[in-house]
Structure 1
Amino acid sequence: MAISYPIVRRDELLVEDHFGKKIPDPYRWLEDPDSAETIAFVRSQNEITQKYLDRCPYTDKLKQRLKEVWDYERFSCPFKSGRYYYYWRNSGLQNQSVLFQLESLDGTASVFLDPNEIDADGLAAIRGYSFSEEGNYLCYGLSHGGSDWAELKFKRTDSGEELPDVLKHVKFSGIEWTHDEKGVFYCMYREHMGKADGTETTSNQDQKLMYHVLGTDQSEDVLCVERPDHPKWLIGAEVSVCGRYLLVSYRDGCEPNNLLYYCDLASINYSITGKLNLIPIVDEFEAVYEYVTNEGPLLVLRTNLNAPMYKLITVDITNPDRTNWKDLIAHNGTVLLECATCVHQDKLIVSRLQDVKSRLSVHKLQTGEKIQDLELPLGSVCGITGRKRDTIAFIRFTSFLTPGQVFSCDLTKEPLSLKIFRESRLSCVDLSAFTAKQVFYESKDKTRIPMFIVHPNNLILDGSRPCQLYGYGGFDIAITPAFSISQLMLLLHFGGIVAIANIRGGGEYGKPWHDAGRRKHKQNCFDDFQAAAEYLIAERYTGRDNSTR
C-alpha cells in the first residue's frame, strides 16, 4: 500500500537578509506550536507514522523482545545521610527509579520514595533532591509530564511522614539546606502565565534565590538574591561543606562560564531574614568555577581559567585577589579533569577523561599530591558518592558492554582498591559475544578524531555488516562509553556494528575541542562525521549501502 505523504505549506515570501545573504525560512510558521496549522501538521505526521507502524508485522515481536532485554536491575551509588544509607533502584521495567532506605549497607532495604505510586503512568519524576545535614529531612522536586517546572516537597526520614510544606513556581533550581536543618535555599520565578506542562516554548526571566523555613507558608519565604539588572541570568547556590558559606553563581544562557560570589552566614548569625550581602570572588564571565570543598576560608575550585582541560585551584576568600590563587592539581594538556570529590577528610578522588576513557586517582587535599591511581577498564565513571566525613566512597561505572557496576573504595585501607559492590546483569543476553574498541581516524583537515566501535566477536571485515554511526558534537558534551539497549538490539538481531565518533564541538578534549566545532568552525563537525563514515567503509566494517547515520 502506497503512503500518501501530507502536503506541508511553504511560505516562499519569508526571506531575510543576513549580512547581504538572502536566507529563506519557509517553515517558520511551525515555530508557533499552538497555532491551528501547526497542530494539524503534527496530527497528520502522527497519523501517517501510526499507519506505517500498524502495517509492520514485527511490532509485537519487537515490543516483546525489547521488554525482555530492558528487564534488568539498575542501581545508583549508595550514599549516607544521617543514620541511613540510600540508593536508587529500578527493578527493570519501572517508569521511574525508586529511592530505598537502609540502616546498614548489608541491611534490609525499604522503599522510601516511589514516584511510580504518585502517577501510575510514570509521568511524575523526581527533579532534584537534598537531605538535610544530619539526615532528618529530605526535600525533593516533583515534576509532571517532562516539565521543567517542579514543586518542592518534604519528608521526615525517621517516619517517612510527608510534611505539609509545598514550594511552587520552581524551575532550574538546586536545593541547599542550612546546616541547622531549619530550611532550604531554592530558586523560583514569579507565577508563570499560560502553559507550564513542559510543552511551552516561552522563556522565563527574573529568577530569584529564596530561603524557606520549614513549617512556614511559601508566602513567608525570604528573598535572598535577585538580579533585575540581568533578568535572563540563572542563579545557583551551594552551602559549603562546613555550613558557614553560601556560594552563589550566575550564568548567562548556555555558556558554561559563571560568576562566583559568597556570603559568610556566620556574619549574620546564620539568620536569613532578607537580601544577602554577596562578596565577589569572580565578577566577570571568563571561565568555569565549580566548588569542590573547603578548609575554613580556603576554597577548592575546579576551573578552566588558562586551563582548557581544567585544573583544581585554591582561593582564600579572606584574601581573594587572584595573585594569591594557587594551583592544587595542575593543568594537564592531554587529560580532561572532569570532577573531584572530597572524602575521608583529606582525600580527593579525581575523575579524568583521557582519550574519552575515564581514569581515577586519589590525591592529598592539602597538597594535591597523587597517592595512587585506581585501575578501571575501558568505560566511563558516571557517578561518585561520598562526603568529607565518610571513609568509603562509591563509584558507578558503565561501558558499551557493562550495564552498570558500583565499586566501593575504603579510604582507610592502603593500598587503595576498587571492589565490586553491586552490578547489573542481563539474564537474556551474553554480552561476552561482543567486543568494544577504540580507533582514531583523520578528518578532512588531518585532525585526529577518536571513535568507538562495538561489534560481534566473529566479525569478518568484508563490508557486509549494517552499521549505525552516531556523533553529537555540541554544547561541550563528551559522548563517553555507555550502555545502550537500542544499540544492543542492532548488534543482537542484525549482526550489526555500532560506531560512536567523538567529533569536534563536544567536550571530549576540553574547550579547544568544543570551540573547534561551533560557530564559524561548525563545518568541522560535519567533516569529522563524514570522515568517520569513510573510515568505516575503507576499513571494511560496513559498506556504503549498509550504514545509517
Structure 2
Amino acid sequence: MRGGFYLLWLCVCLILFCAAASAEEGPTTNTPAGPPKAKSEPVEETLHGHKILDPYRYLEDSSNPDTQGYVRAQLTYTRELLDPLPGRNQIHQRLEQLLTIGNVGTPEIGGKYYFYTRREGMQNQPVLYVREGVNGKDRVLVDANQLAADGTISLDWWHPTHDGKYVAYGTSPSGSEMSTLRVIESATGRLLPDTIERTRAASIAWKLDDSGFYYTRLPKKGDVAEGQEMYNRHVFYHAMGTDAARDPLIFGEGRDPEDWPNVSLSNDGRWLLITVEQGWTKSELFLMDVNAGTPPVRITTGKNFLYGGDVYNGNVYIVTNEDASRYRVFRASAERPAREAWQEIIPQSDAVLQATTIIHGQLFGLYEKNATSLIKRFNENGSFLSDLQLPGLGSVAGVGGNWDSNEMFFGFQSFTVPPSIYHVEFNDAGTNAKAATKKNQQASLKPATLWAKVDAPSINPAAYEVNQVWYSSKDGTRVPMFVVHKKGLEKNGKNPTLLTGYGGFNVSMTP
C-alpha cells in the first residue's frame, strides 16, 4: 500500500465490507457452476540438480492466446458472481467519486528541470510533467492517456539525465508491464529515434554527458529457450542515435536466469554499480570501472544478505542487513572495494533503515520505527547531523534530490493527510555542491514547505480519529496496529471492523 492514499483505501474497504453485508440480505440466482480451469502444459527444467515441473508456465506470457482466453473466462466468471449483488450501482458511484481524488509523485531534479507525475479526475494514468524552476509553470511531457482511447497504455517508469536534457521512459499496453523504452527531449517534447523493446521495470543509468545510458532488458523470443523470455534480465549499454539491436552486453551472460540486476553510476561517471537481486532475501554488488573498460567485479561475498548502495566521490556506500536485521551502512574505496576493506560508518539503530540517498554531499537515511517514517541526515563520513522535521506521524513516500543539488523533496502522507510533496532548501543554497566541500557537509536545512498536494473534497479527514495500539503476537513480539474510525465512535465491541495486514516482500503497512 506504500505510496497510496490510505484514507481512500480505507473508505474503499469499508464500502466493500458493507456491500458484502448487504449481499447477505437476499439470495441471488443463476449461481455460476465454478471457476474456469486452466489447462496443463507441463514445462520441465533442471535447477541445481533437481527436476522442476511447472504445468502453468504459459500463463506467465500475457501474449499467449491460451493465457488471454483464460483471463477472459476468469473475467466472465467474476462478472457472473458480482453483477447480481445488490447495491452495486451505489458502490460504483461512490468508488468513482473516490477515485477522482488522484495522486502526486515525488519530483526528481535534472539541472534546471523538475519532473513529477500527477493523476487527476477520471484520468486512467498519471501524467509526467516538467517545469523549469522550482516554482515554474507545469508542462505536460508524457501523457499516456493520449496514447490509447481506452486509457490502457501506462507510463511504467522514467529516468531523466542529470542535466535534465532528456528523459528515458517506458510505456506498456493493457497492464502487461512489458515496456518499450523511448527518449524525449525535455525542452521541446521531441521524441528521439532511440527505441528499445522488452524493458520491463528497466533500471537506467545515464552518462553525465547524455551520450548514452546503461540499462536492463529481457531477451527477445528466440534469443533463449521457449518459456525463458521472462527471465535472463541483462545489463546493456546504449549509445544515443545507434541501433539498439547492436547494444553491447555488459553483465548477466551465464548467470542464474532469475537474477534481477539494477544499475547506477557514480557522480564522476567512472564507476558503474550493479546490484543483483536474487529473490527477496539475497543480493550481490558488482563494481565496474567504466574508464578502464574492465569486467564488473563482485564486491560482496555471496552470503545470504541484502546489499544496495551508491558510489560517491570515489567511495562505495553500502546499505546492508549483513548481521544487522535493521540495516547499517558501510563505506569502501571504489579502488579497493573488497569486503575486508569495508568500514562501518552508520551502525544499526532501533529503527529500520529502508534506503539512503546522497543529496548536497550529505547522506540521507529513510528509517521506519513503529510503522512510521523518520529521515535522518549524516555527513559523508557517517556523522549524524540532524533529523529532518516531518509534518507529523506518517509515511514518507519518496525522497528526491541529487548529489549536487541545493534542495530536496519528500512525499508525505498519513491516514488523515492526503499525499503531499514538501520542498526543502539547504541554508547555503546557491553554492556549488559538486565539490562536496566541508561547508556543504555541515549545511543545515531550512524548514520544509508544502510544494504540492492531492485535493480530496469528497473526504473530510477531520472527521476521523487515528490511534496506534500494540498487541502481543503468539511468540510475545509486540506488534503495532493503527485503529481508524470516525470521531465520537462508541467503542463497545459491537462495531463492524475490517482487520487487514500484509505479510510479503518485506513491506510494512504504514499510514
Instruction: Give yes or no for the alignment of 1:354 onto 2:385.
Output: no
**Alignment correspondent of 1:369:** 384
Q: How far apart are residue 467 of structure 1 and its match?
A: 1.1
**Alignment correspondent of 1:290:** 308
Q: For residue 98 of structure 1, what is the amino acid of its counterpart?
A: V
Q: For residue 423 of structure 1, what is the amino acid of its counterpart?
A: K
Instruction: Give yes or no for the alignment of 1:418 onto 2:448.
Output: yes
Q: How far apart are residue 134 of structure 1 and its match?
A: 2.2
**Alignment correspondent of 2:155:** 126
Q: For residue 335 of structure 1, what is the amino acid of its counterpart?
A: A
**Alignment correspondent of 1:505:** none
CA 1:439/1:207 → structure 2, altered by over 3 Å: closer, same or farther? same
1:502-541 paired onto structure 2 within 5 Å: none
Looking at structure 2, the residues matched to 468 and 201 of structure 1 have their Cα atoms a distance apart, in angstroms, of 41
Q: 1:165 aligns with which of 194, 205, 220?
A: 194
Q: For residue 319 of structure 1, what is the amino acid of its counterpart?
A: R
Looking at structure 2, the residues matched to 79 and 232 of structure 1 have their Cα atoms a distance apart, in angstroms, of 30
Which piece of structure 1 moves more, 39-48 or 451-460? 39-48
Q: 1:344 aligns with which of 342, 360, 373?
A: 360
Q: How far apart are residue 426 of structure 1 and its match?
A: 1.1
Percent identity over the alignment? 26
**Alignment correspondent of 1:190:** 219
Whether the 8 Å CA contact 2:300–2:339 is kept in 1: the answer is no
Looking at structure 1, the residues matched to 36 and 108 of structure 2 have their Cα atoms a distance apart, in angstroms, of 55
**Alignment correspondent of 2:319:** 302
Looking at structure 2, the residues matched to 133 and 476 of structure 1 have their Cα atoms a distance apart, in angstroms, of 31
Instruction: Give yes or no for the alignment of 1:224 onto 2:240.
Output: no
**Alignment correspondent of 1:493:** none
Q: For residue 325 of structure 1, what is the amino acid of its counterpart?
A: W
Q: 2:285 aligns with which of 253, 260, 267?
A: 260
Q: How far apart are residue 478 of structure 1 and its match?
A: 1.6
**Alignment correspondent of 1:112:** 141
Q: How far apart are residue 67 of structure 1 and its match?
A: 2.1
Residues 251-294 of structure 1, C-alpha deviations (whole Å, 9 max, x = no match): 32x234212111111224xxxxxxx5122211414322211341
Whether the 8 Å CA contact 2:366–2:373 is kept in 1: the answer is yes
CA 1:31/1:239 → structure 2, altered by over 3 Å: closer, same or farther? closer
Q: For residue 277 of structure 2, what is the amino acid of its counterpart?
A: R
Tell me the TM-score normalised to structure 1 length.
0.75
Instruction: Give yes or no for the alignment of 1:66 onto 2:95.
Output: yes
**Alignment correspondent of 2:458:** 428
Q: 2:299 aligns with which of 281, 294, 306?
A: 281
CA 1:453/1:133 → structure 2, altered by over 3 Å: closer, same or farther? same
CA 1:45/1:408 → structure 2, altered by over 3 Å: closer, same or farther? closer
CA 1:7/1:369 → structure 2, altered by over 3 Å: closer, same or farther? closer
CA 1:109/1:368 → structure 2, altered by over 3 Å: closer, same or farther? same
Q: For residue 255 of structure 1, what is the amino acid of its counterpart?
A: W
Q: For residue 230 of structure 2, what is the amino acid of its counterpart?
A: N
Q: How far apart are residue 59 of structure 1 and its match?
A: 2.5
Q: How far apart are residue 233 of structure 1 and its match?
A: 2.1
**Alignment correspondent of 2:182:** 153
Residues 330-389 of structure 1, C-alpha deviations (whole Å, 9 max, x = no match): 111x210112222122x2222110111111222222342233442441210011101111
Q: For residue 226 of structure 1, what is the amino acid of its counterpart?
A: G
Instruction: Give yes or no for the alignment of 1:402 onto 2:417.
Output: yes
CA 1:159/1:443 → structure 2, altered by over 3 Å: closer, same or farther? same
Q: 1:177 aligns with which of 206, 218, 224?
A: 206
Which 5+ residue runs of structure 2 have no aligned equivalent?
1-27, 39-53, 429-443
Q: How far apart are residue 465 of structure 1 and its match?
A: 1.4
CA 1:81/1:459 → structure 2, altered by over 3 Å: closer, same or farther? same
Q: How far apart are residue 187 of structure 1 and its match?
A: 1.9
Looking at structure 1, the residues matched to 227 and 484 of structure 2 have their Cα atoms a distance apart, in angstroms, of 38
**Alignment correspondent of 2:351:** 335
Tell me the TM-score normalised to structure 2 length.
0.80
Q: How far apart are residue 136 of structure 1 and its match?
A: 1.5
What's the secondary structure of 1:462's corresponding residue?
coil
Looking at structure 2, the residues matched to 283 and 415 of structure 1 have their Cα atoms a distance apart, in angstroms, of 38
1:203-218 paired onto structure 2 within 5 Å: 204-218=230-244
Q: How far apart are residue 218 of structure 1 and its match?
A: 1.5
Aligned residues: 449
Looking at structure 1, the residues matched to 34 and 123 of structure 2 have their Cα atoms a distance apart, in angstroms, of 39
Whether the 8 Å CA contact 2:300–2:338 is kept in 1: the answer is no
**Alignment correspondent of 2:123:** 94
RMSD: 2.9
Q: For residue 452 of structure 2, what is the amino acid of its counterpart?
A: R
Looking at structure 1, the residues matched to 103 and 475 of structure 2 have their Cα atoms a distance apart, in angstroms, of 42
Looking at structure 1, the residues matched to 193 and 457 of structure 2 have their Cα atoms a distance apart, in angstroms, of 43
Whether the 8 Å CA contact 2:184–2:191 is kept in 1: the answer is yes
Residues 12-42 of structure 1, C-alpha deviations (whole Å, 9 max, x = no match): xxxxxxxxxxxxxxxx988875999998886
Whether the 8 Å CA contact 1:358–1:376 is kept in 2: the answer is no
Q: For residue 289 of structure 2, what is the amino acid of its counterpart?
A: D
Which 5+ residue runs of structure 1 have no aligned equivalent?
12-27, 195-199, 269-275, 482-549
Whether the 8 Å CA contact 1:311–1:327 is kept in 2: the answer is yes
**Alignment correspondent of 2:467:** 437
Whether the 8 Å CA contact 1:342–1:348 is kept in 2: the answer is yes
Looking at structure 2, the residues matched to 474 and 246 of structure 1 have their Cα atoms a distance apart, in angstroms, of 30
Whether the 8 Å CA contact 1:434–1:455 is kept in 2: the answer is yes
Looking at structure 2, the residues matched to 36 and 92 of structure 1 have their Cα atoms a distance apart, in angstroms, of 34
RCO (CA 8 Å, sep 6+): is it higher in 1 or 2?
2
**Alignment correspondent of 1:2:** 29
**Alignment correspondent of 2:484:** 454
What's the secondary structure of 2:145's corresponding residue?
helix
Q: How far apart are residue 221 of structure 1 and its match?
A: 1.2
Q: How far apart are residue 139 of structure 1 and its match?
A: 1.0
What's the secondary structure of 2:196's corresponding residue?
strand
Q: For residue 107 of structure 2, what is the amino acid of its counterpart?
A: P
